[in-house]
Amino acid sequence: MKALLSLERVGKSFGGLAALADISFSVEAGEILGIIGPNGAGKTTLFNVITAFFPPTEGTVIFDGRPIGGLPPHAIAHRGISRTFQNIRLFSAMSVEENVMVGRHCRSRAGVWRGVLRTRGQRGEEREIRERTRELLELVGLEGADPGREARALPYGHQRRLEIARSLAAEPRLLLLDEPAAGMNEAETREVFELIRRVRLLGVTILLIEHDMSLVMKACDRLVVFNFGRMIAEGPPAAIRKDPRVIEAYLGPEEGSEDA
Amino acid sequence: MFLEQAINGITLGGIYAIVALGYTLVFGVLGIINMAHGEIFMFGAFVGMLLVSKAGVPLPVAFLGAIAAAASMGLLLDRFALRPLRKRPGASHLASLISTIGVSILLENAAHRIFGAGNHLFETPFSDIRFQAGSVTVYLVQAAILGISLLMMAGLSLWLSRTRAGKALRATAENLETAGLLGVDTNRMITATVVIASAMGGVAGVLVGMAFNFINNRIGLSMGLKGLAIIIFGGMGSVYGAMAGGLILGLSETFVVAYGPAGYRDAIAFVTIIVVLLVRPQGLFGQAVSDGKP
Amino acid sequence: MPVEWLNPYHLQVGSFLLINVLLGVSIYITLSTGQLSLGNAGFMCIGAYTAALLSTKCGLPIPAGIALGAVLAGSAGVLVGLPSLRLSGVYLAIATLGFGEVIRAVAVNWETLTGGAVGVAAVPQMGRVLLANLADAGFAPGDAGLRPNQFIALSVFLILLAVTALVIAFFLRLDRTRVGRAYAAIRLDEKAAEAMGIPVTYYKVLAFSQGAMVSGLAGALFAHSTSYISPEDFTYHRAVEILVYAVFGGSGHLLGSVFGAAALTLLPEALRFVSDYRHMLYGLLLVLMMIYRPQGVIDPPLLRRLHRARAEEAP
């Protein structure tokens, strides 16, 4: 297998404080890699480093064989990395449909003049965008929602799914999901799990931050464990579950409870 | 000649600094630009003018009157144009900017209605007293302006660094939420800041009247624009940046008028900020802004 | 038999209304990417002076001067927009305000070119030039049943109407395309927009210069509708007035700004006492709008409701 994304000794510090230090791991094409760790361990910072919101202060990030350091966030999206946010960041005043259509931006190209003149090519492109949007809404289970409804009016769980649909519209090869099941009940979490599996079947590699341990254990092929901005363990879920360092750092010094 | 121009420049710079401090205090605490500050300052000048030229009271009383008038306008501004926006969650940062622009337009035109568009003489009893030191002439008014502005700057620095209230204000400026958690009544702190800044505007108004010998309803706008330029130049929210920026602008304007194209005097401020924004967007004394979260 | 009801004064008010509508559109475009510009009076100034000077000093045909005025203003927009983009909203607002003041200072001081504070007089007026050209071709306004002053006012109004309609149609269409969606995404959440692959800087500069260009166009048309311009026409107050159009009418949709510009131009005409207090009213309006209806009178949900109500009435 070939590494789709690899991080080599990546570090990020803010004003001298290291938020991430010495992070090295790879994500194989087609796998689901889980990133776990206590709050403040640097998981979301890692996503921000990969997507260039916070350019790394040390080390290199290599995507698909090429370093992506120095690229602006939109260029990284163009290369094929898409993400969701921990605290959902939809375009709240836009409709459900438009949110997904925006996601299609980097896979379409009509500019001002073609748009205003409605050239044949532009109309074809818009049709394609709408079709793809419908498919994606169906994929995430929002086919029943009114596509013209404002995104902020959707129930919370639907907003999470809409965000996933939006990021899939960019046709990513790597999808970064930041706590997709946060704040969801058991049934909804199961649906998210199903959705992640469906997304993987599309051939998308997934990097998953999640606190719900049962979801992580079921969904992920491998796990990387963070604590205080460093990687403390890496391996398949079964091994991580037994790793004493992980148990101590993450689940607490005593034998872990269910919802650590 | 050169020395005299330098003294003129420093006097003007002192006034600019006081005007800029009014902006920078509010920006430091609230993170907003109070576009109405210039007009509050203008009303302070008018109250001072009425007291000195029309009622004939001594200058210190005129200062107190201008301070009282400007401070109460600051209070009203906060109560009616800023606080309602603070209560609404998700109000965009442009909302308060637009709201204070509204107040500034309202006040400027109210002044037009009340005082007319013409110039009003601002006569001080000692406007002709001057000293001669060699070839250099210094007017008493200039010395007074410089003294008062230095006093205010020193007072403000001391107040911010030494007193409890000043420290609370700085904590609020640092982080509104944390200050709230630490038990600082942030709402009161914000109101206090706007009121103090406005009061300083009142002082600056009288100083401008003394310096130029006349005032009109447009000085709020013209001085306000310079104050804005200075805080961009000196770094938003930086107290020392406002002081230094004020002096630099005062000096450069004076020298351009003396030795260069006088008509462009009012454009200097903005040419400077456009250059500063290109070269050093955080300003001379400002710190690079990192917005933390994406 | 002249058409008596065609009042040149009303047509003139209509022409100014259309120019204000264009200005409303110009600020809407910049705001649609979440950028607040207080420099649109400056861009308008560039457009107006360019057009006026090209026709008075170089004898360039009016349409060419107008086009060049708009293009020059748009290019100035790129120059101002590009560096200002590194700045957050407040800095941009002040930098653009400064830009407007610098432009005005240049107009006042470069006397040999701009005529200084006096301004440019005898700018060819569109309607008169058209009338003269038609007269050469053997047409007299009487043939259409119009007095000459009626013809002049009417032709200016119609030219402005056509241009304004075109501009509005252009941006209404743009709103519904990939570019329009990118603008809206940037306004709503810049970071999320960037994460979705939208080159934020590019679109912000694009929107900023489009706004500048429309301001310049409005200025150029203004110069050729009034035949006299001076720096006083492009002060900070004009910039605020333009902002009020969008804030009052609604900055969430193009039609909001159009409505705002139209309503606030007609209001002082309809109510005499309003015109004395117009600027005070604008100030009050800004504060009240920010407190009670920051999205403006017209916003997308309202438009949707109207649309739905009409759809229900139809069958």
What is the average pLDDT across A127-137?
96
DSSP B291: -
Q: Which residue type occupies B272? A: T
Q: Tell me if C90 sits within 8 A of B33, measured CB to CB.
A: yes
Q: Which of chain B's residues have a Cβ under 8 Å away from the Cβ of C82?
A: none
pLDDT, one tens digit per residue, over A198-243 is 999 999 999 999 988 888 999 999 999 999 999 999 999 999 888 8
Maximum CA pair distance of chain C?
66
Distance between CA B76 and CA B82 in Å, rounded? 9
3-state secondary structure of C195: helix
Q: Is the predicted pLDDT of residue A126 greater than 80, yes or no?
A: yes
Asked if pLDDT for residue B293 goes beyond 60, the answer is: no
Please give the Cα distance from B106 to B102 (Å, whole number): 6
> Could you tell me if residue B294 is inside a domain?
no
The answer to whether residue B219 scores a pLDDT higher than 80 is yes
Of residues C289 and B239, more confidently modeled? C289
Interface of chain C against chain A, CB under 8 Å? 170, 173-174, 177-182, 184-185, 188-189, 191-200, 206, 252, 300-301, 304
User: What's the pLDDT band for B27 if we cut at 50, 70, 90?
Assistant: confident
Which of B289, B290, B293 best probes binding to A when mutated, by most A CB atoms within 10 angstroms? B293
> Is 50 exceeded by the pLDDT of residue C1?
no
Backbone angles phi, psi at C155, to 5 degrees: -70, -40
Question: What does the pLDDT read at residue C189?
Answer: 92
Whether the pLDDT of residue C88 is over 70: the answer is no
- Per-residue pLDDT, B188: 85
Cβ-Cβ contacts under 8 Å for C7 (sequence gap 6 or more): none
Residue B226, CB-side half-sphere exposure with 13 Å CA sphere? 28
Asked if A115's CB is within 8 angstroms of C179's CB, the reply is yes
CA A17, CA A94: separation in Å to the nearest integer?
38
Q: What contacts 24+ positions apart, CB below 8 Å, involve B122-126?
A: B122/B45, B122/B48, B122/B49, B122/B52, B122/B53, B122/B209, B122/B210, B122/B212, B122/B213, B122/B214, B122/B215, B123/B52, B123/B53, B123/B213, B124/B52, B124/B59, B124/B210, B125/B59
Walk me through the domains of chain C, giving residue ranges and CATH numbers: 8-313 (1.10.3470)
Contact residues for B275 (Cβ-Cβ < 8 A; gap 6+): none
Per-residue pLDDT at B288: 47
Q: Quick one: tokens of C140?
A: 């007299």
Residue type, B43: F
Dmax over Cα atoms in chain B, in whole Å? 63
C313 vs C300, C306, C307, CA distance in Å?
A: 20, 11, 10
Chain A residues within an 8 Å CB radius of B290: 14-15
In A131-221, at which residue ranges do the beta strands (DSSP E only) sit?
174-178, 205-209
CB-CB neighbours of C173 under 10 Å? 16
Total domain count, chain B? 1
**Inside any domain, residue B83:** yes
> Alpha-carbon distance A184 to B178, whole Å?
30
Q: What is the mean pLDDT of chain C?
A: 90
Pick from A71, A74, A95, A171 the residue to mutate for testing the C interface (most C CBs within 10 Å).
A74
More confident of the two residues C267 and C313: C267
Q: Which chain C residues touch B266 with a CB distance below 8 Å?
A: 101, 105
Q: Is residue B287 part of a domain?
A: no
Report the alpha-carbon distance of residue C36 to residue C91 in Å, rounded: 10
Q: Is the dihedral of CA A214, A220, A223, A226 positive or negative?
A: negative
CA distance B173 to chain C (A): 17
Question: Which chain B residue's Cα is nearest to A44?
Answer: B293
Select from C211, C227, C208, C173 the least CA-distant residue to C15: C227
CATH of the domain at B198: 1.10.3470
3-class secondary-structure state, position A3: strand
Cα separation, C100 vs C238, in Å, equals: 10
Whether the per-residue pLDDT at C85 is higher than 70: the answer is no
CA distance C250 to chain A (A): 14
**Contact with chain C for residue B15, Cβ under 8 A:** no
The answer to whether C254 and C302 are in contact (CB under 8 A) is no
Select from B222, B229, B270 the least CA-distant residue to B246: B229
- What does the pLDDT look like over B38-86, one tens digit per residue? 999 999 999 999 998 888 888 889 999 999 999 999 999 999 998 888 8
Q: Do B97 and C90 make contact, defined as CB atoms within 8 angstroms? A: yes
The answer to whether residue B117 neighbours chain C at the CB level (below 8 Å) is no
**Residues from chain A contacting residue B92 (CB–CB below 8 Å):** none
Extract the tokens encoding B250.
């005062």
User: Is A228 touching B (CB cutoff 8 A)?
Assistant: no
C-beta neighbour count of B38 within 10 angstroms: 28
pLDDT number for residue A250: 65
Least confident of A123-137, B205-219, B251-265, C15-29: B251-265
Residue B246, domain member (yes or no): yes
The β-bridge partners of C86 are none
CB contact B294 to C (< 8 Å): yes
Binary contact (B294, A14; C-beta < 8 A): no
Residue C210, SS3?
helix
ipTM (interface pTM): 0.91
Task: State the smallest CA–CA distance between residue B146 and chain A in angstroms.
Answer: 39
Residue count of chain A, please give it: 260
Number of Cβ pairs < 8 A linking chain A and chain C: 104
Instruction: Provide the pLDDT for residue B289.
Output: 44
B194 pLDDT band, cuts 50/70/90, is very high
Cβ contacts of residue C58 below 8 Å, gap of 6+? none
The residue of chain B with its CA nearest to that of A52 is B294
Distances in Å between the Cα of A64 and the Cα atoms of A4, A28, A56, A80 are: 5, 10, 18, 9
On whether any CB of chain B is under 8 Å from the CB of A14, the answer is yes
Of the given ranges (A243-257, B132-146, C52-66), which has the lowest mean pLDDT?
A243-257
Min distance A259 CA to chain B CA atoms (Å): 27
Q: Please, are residues C124 and C226 in contact by the beta-carbon 8 Å criterion? A: no
Contact (Cβ atoms closer than 8 angstroms) between residue B195 and residue B75 = yes
Residue B293 domain flag: no
Residue of C nearest to B77 (CA): C287
Chain A residues in contact with C304 (beta carbon < 8 A): 148
- CA distances from residue A94 to A149, C132, C283 in whole angstroms, order as listed: 8, 51, 30
The answer to whether the Cβ–Cβ distance between B294 and A48 falls below 8 Å is yes
Please return the burial class of C71, using the count of CB atoms within 10 Å of its CB with bins 0-12, 13-18 and 19+: middle
Nearest-angstrom CA–CA distance, C214 and C220:
10
Closest CA to B54 of B102, B110, B143, B115: B115
**pLDDT at residue B92, rounded to an integer:** 67
What lies within 8 Å, CB to CB, of A208 at 6+ separation is A32, A33, A34, A35, A177, A180, A196, A216, A219, A220
Would you say residue B21 lies in a domain? yes
> Among A17-31, A149-163, A238-252, whose mean pLDDT is lowest?
A238-252
Closest-CA residue of C relative to B99 is C287
- A152 in contact with chain C, both atoms CB, cutoff 8 A: no
Over the range A95-118, which residues count as b (16 or more CB within 10 Å of their CB) and which as e? bbbbbbbbbbbbbbebebebbbee
Residue where the block lists tokens 């040419």: B271
Nearest to C236 by CA among C279, C285, C274: C279
**pLDDT tens digits, C116-167:** 888 999 899 999 999 999 889 888 888 888 888 899 999 999 999 999 999 9
- pLDDT category at B292 given cuts 50, 70, 90 is very low
Residue B52 domain flag? yes
Q: Is B32 on the interface with C (CB under 8 A)?
A: yes
User: Measured between alpha carbons, how far is B21 from B73 in angstroms, rounded to an integer?
Assistant: 17
Environment class of residue B166 by beta-carbon count within 10 Å: exposed (0-12), middle (13-18) or buried (19+)? middle
Least confident of A216-220, B100-104, B138-142: B138-142
What is the per-residue pLDDT for A4?
95
Query: Is residue B111 a part of any domain in this protein?
Result: yes
Q: Which residue of A has its CA nearest to B288?
A: A15
Task: Tell if the CB–CB gap between B290 and A14 is shorter than 8 Å.
Answer: yes
At residue C86, the pLDDT reads 66
Asked whether the predicted pLDDT for residue B290 surpasses 60, the reply is: no
Q: What are phi and psi of C88, to 5 degrees?
A: -75, 175
C65 within 8 A of C125, measured Cβ to Cβ: no
Range of the domain at B120: 2-279
